[in-house]
Amino acid sequence: MPGLMQRAVLALALIAAFLVVVLWTRQPATRERFATRRSATRPTTTSAPTWQRPRSEERKDERLKMVREQIASEGTWPFSRTPVESRVVLEAVRSVPRHWFVPANLQGRAYADGPLPIGHGQTISQPYIVAVMTEALNLTPDSRVLEIGTGSGYQAAVLAEITPHVFSIEILEPLQRQAVGRFTKYGYNTIRCKLADGYFGWQEHAPFDAIIVTCAAGHVPAPLIEQLKVGGKMVIPIGPTGFEQRLVLLEKSSPPDPPTKTTLMGVAFVPMTGQISKEE
């Protein structure tokens, strides 16, 4: 029974992710505000990154096509979307071979426009969503970023193209072990990844300039807000499993003022587990 429930939740998340893309095209005003907000917060860098990052020619044409048609363009109905504009983010996604992070039986769909199952009821996110969430954080090479939900390791690898200060937490031991194996095999040596409940963050490496949460929560975990720098940004899906999740960007204000919140778009993510499930 648990296996059937897990598969049902995963199937629902995959279907919802497809429908969210379609529904998002019907919100032109929201998309326009999102584009305006992003252009006003585009990161600037003063020097070229100096850390070692993996490079591969494997399936490069597919990567370039994925970025060109799925991420950097508006697409065509029913897949119209606000294009990602950050050159830093676009180059990061072009540089990471997504097929390295996809199960062997799904290699033919590694560059498809949608999420894919990676086992244990989890998914690797749609390439466009990875790029949108990364762009929202406005990262620079000096940024310290915490990821909640390592999953396949793909999102962490994209982050590591922009900054060497990437800290990632995964609650499921098989996924954490596999992700660390990929980081080691392919040379993502700057990513630090541990097995833990992401609800509690990673206090010993706090504060963070940015936090990215890759699973949906009913509310923002208090420890994550505490570990975010004043002025720092967090992007997190908020809402139950299904069609009501919102991708929210928070910016931490000086206490006692609460963080500012901006809804970016509708999304569909698998749920956060662990401590948060005891509070909801």
Answer yes or no: is 51 within a domain: no
Indicate the DSSP class of residue 219: S
Answer yes or no: is 270 within a domain: yes
Answer yes or no: is 50 within a domain: no
Answer yes or no: is 48 within a domain: no
Q: Domain holding 108: CATH number? A: 3.40.50.150
| Structure confidence at residue 3 (pLDDT) | 56
Given a cut of 80, whether residue 153 has pLDDT beyond it is yes
Answer yes or no: is 33 within a domain: yes
| Two tokens, residue 183 | 């980081």
User: Per the residue annotation, which of 86, 95, 125, 152 is the catalytic one?
Assistant: 125
Q: Rounded CA gap, 96 and 92, in Å?
A: 7
Query: To 10 degrees, what angle do helices 87-95 and 127-136 make?
Result: 140
Q: Please, are residues 20 and 267 in contact by the beta-carbon 8 Å criterion?
A: yes
pLDDT band at 12 (very low <50, low <70, confident <90, very high): low
Residue 111, domain extent: 2-40+58-279
pLDDT digits (tens, 9 = 90+) for 16-51: 554 444 444 334 434 444 444 454 455 544 456 689
39 flagged as catalytic: no
Average pLDDT, the chain: 88
Scan for tokens 């508006």, then name that residue. Answer: 74
CA angle 14, 99, 201 (to 5 degrees): 65
Answer yes or no: is 178 within a domain: yes
Task: For residues 269-280, give the mean pLDDT.
Answer: 91
The domain tally of the chain equals: 1
Answer yes or no: is 199 within a domain: yes
pTM equals 0.86
Answer yes or no: is 214 within a domain: yes
